[in-house]
Structure 1
Amino acid sequence: MKLSLWASALVATLTVQTVSSFASFAIPLLGPPLMARAGLAPESIGLVSATTSLGICWCLASGGPMLSRYGPVRTLQIGLACMALGLFALSQPLGLLGLLGALAIGFGTGHNTPAGSQILARTAPPRHRTLIFSIKQAGVPLGGALAGLVVAPLALAHGLSATLWTVLGIVLLTVLLVQPFRRSLDGDRDPARQGWGRALLSPAALLRSVRVLRTHPSLPLLTALGASFSVLQACLMAFTATYVVTSHGVSLAEAGRIVAVMQVASMLARIALGWLADRMGHALRHLVIQAVISAAAVCLLVAMADQGGWVLYACAALAGASAIGWNGVHMAELARLAPLSLVGEVTSAAGLFGFVGSVCGPLAFALVVTLSGSYELAFLIMAAQLAVFGLVSAAIFRPEQDGSER
């Protein structure tokens, strides 16, 4: 049966999003053995996570001309190839080569936001747009959950290098799986577009990213709120496994299951919140409230983690649903507010600022742990910044800023 255009777009983007997330989440899950092989402290995985986020920032700031030149599906395939190259580098003893690999993984991952948004903004039925974007973004926690269930047992059974090679093979297979979608979804590409290679090293691309956020008055606040969410989300994704292993003595396999529960809860929350947002509107107001709830959920996770058992799993699920379940509504609102011709650029620009938070968050977290020896304090500080930003946003919020009333 032939899929409709929007269904084809959703299948292609969800597939790539899920596999990219699976590969990205495999790295922090393998943090303890990766750092042990390099002779570094466990919290040093924050440097790898920050380098990956730096690669995403690079892509979001400079990758627009590549998207225009090759089209969204081909750009997604190029991104997957970059991830495979990065995984190959990480399969070697960690050092400068490993950090370059993390940069390549980030650059490859960064294409998912602008390319996926461009496809869905052009094909999704308006009355279901937020839900469709949320389903696509649910690929992030779905990939994370699969990584949590598969990666740790695979590493324990076959070793670190074999696990990285397996993930690499899955990424390359996905490049082939999405090829049939290219004919129907890459029709708006500009093969004559030149200079995309030079743009990757152009400082002017960053200035364009800032200017494009002026196209709607709601975009700056929405972008800043997303960046604050990203700080906390990045720390949860980078350090949860290492935290429960080093501070609470759980096994690597159980840490993977805890991360999987967190990601499944996030996946379900993204879809549910997308459905709710399509019916109730007020997306920006919703995100402000969710910021405070997310901070409280992370504080509860830290306070109750030593209870272990179902309490730890329940707290992880709550933190995942709130602090990682925001992205679909946020991305759909960005795409809805942006002029159709600038959807890719607006989501890239907002994502760029978000991933700046993803770089700074893990680095600040690792610094706090190094200075204080406390993962709990680091988590509380990251949760507090989101709560404060949410309360400040609520104080300056005006009804006319809510995209639902535009």
Structure 2
Amino acid sequence: MKKAVVASLLAVASVASCARIAVAQTPADTGSNAQSGVQLAPAEYNAYTAAIGQSTPQTQAPALESFLQTYPQSKVKEDVLQRLMLAYSSFDPAKTLDAADRLLQVDPNNIRALTFESYFRLQNAEKLTDATAKQAELDKAAESGQKGLDAPKPASLGDADFAKLKEAAAPVFHRAIATAALNKKDSATAVTQLKQSLSSVPVDQTKTPGPLLQDTYTLAQAYYQSTPPDLLNCTWYAARAASFAPEPYKSQMMPLAKYCYKKYHGADDGFDAVATASQQSLEPPADFASTVKPAPKPEDIVKQVIASTPDLATLAVSDKEFILQNGSADDAAKVWDTIKGKSVQFPDTTVVSVSDTALQVAVSDDAVQSKTADFTFNLTAPLKTPPAVGDKVTVTGTYDSFTPKPLMITMSNGAVVEPKKAPAKPTPAHRAPRRR
């Protein structure tokens, strides 16, 4: 009998933005000390050493598969499956998952296999377009991630080696759980898991383009998708991710940072200072909220506009709508009194819906952008040629009433102004050609 030492796969690292496991393996032991090895029959031992001795993953994988077919109950089966999984990981994700599945049947708590399961199932989910199938694959990745975080230390590993293994795999596990949660609109879980992913590594690693920098940006997205949106944290993490990202990713990430900042602050001033500060620290300072002044509340803006506008009738339609929707009853009445009962004509409105008795259109810029009706024109007569949804039409009517939330201004005496036909050009007189 000969013995083979089943290697401890101690070194685990994230390589080239993936969860590929770097394996530190010892060669098979041909000595006589049976305490450190597994006894194998000579033929099995020779097949084992030949398989693991292959120089490339592409040649090692089939050799390991052949060994498993010949010796399906081998005492080194777990070790061979780990090597097989690693070999496949360099060139065949599908077979990597298959090897990981087989390894988990032998060792359900194998952290290396759970790491590959989490990583490659996340990759698979990114390619899926069917929402149900995508979420199912994300949930599988998250399930493997949670099992990996909860996995107990195997007896074959020392405390220090196990800690290194868990530390290297932790970002992959947290990322899988966060991604599945965020896809289900569970922003709170996503925020918790992404922060744990980022805090599980030295801070300098979060500045390097790769999965951890992407985690930083995804954390910003999770804060933005919270209810209500956490605009300050969104600003901080999106700005940090964009600051360290190369192009074209920098230009793709920065707009979210600027949007969240302006949405919170009301203007762009001060953003550059926040972006610079975010490069110095992974987390925002405890007093961050006190350093960025929030934008005025809608009701405060209303009072400011009314106080600074001598003739409220001159306000733009969008400004009048803002006051009707966000102002107090008294402030809304001040604006409404300037237009009630007056007849107006609106050119180039966008048709949202049409019936025999009413036409709903988008008039203000905000309404046009959101494709939402802000005016209802009650028609004096059915339209001879009803416009299609999305058409641009000129309409007339008289201000009759309004509801503030959701805003809808109702007009009486509504009508569509037909475009004027261009005058017909006179037919030029026909003249016979002159004979020469």
Range of TM-score over shorter length: under 0.3
- More helix by percentage: 1
Q: TM-score, normalised by structure 1?
A: 0.24
Q: TM-score, normalised by structure 2?
A: 0.23
Greater gyration radius: 2
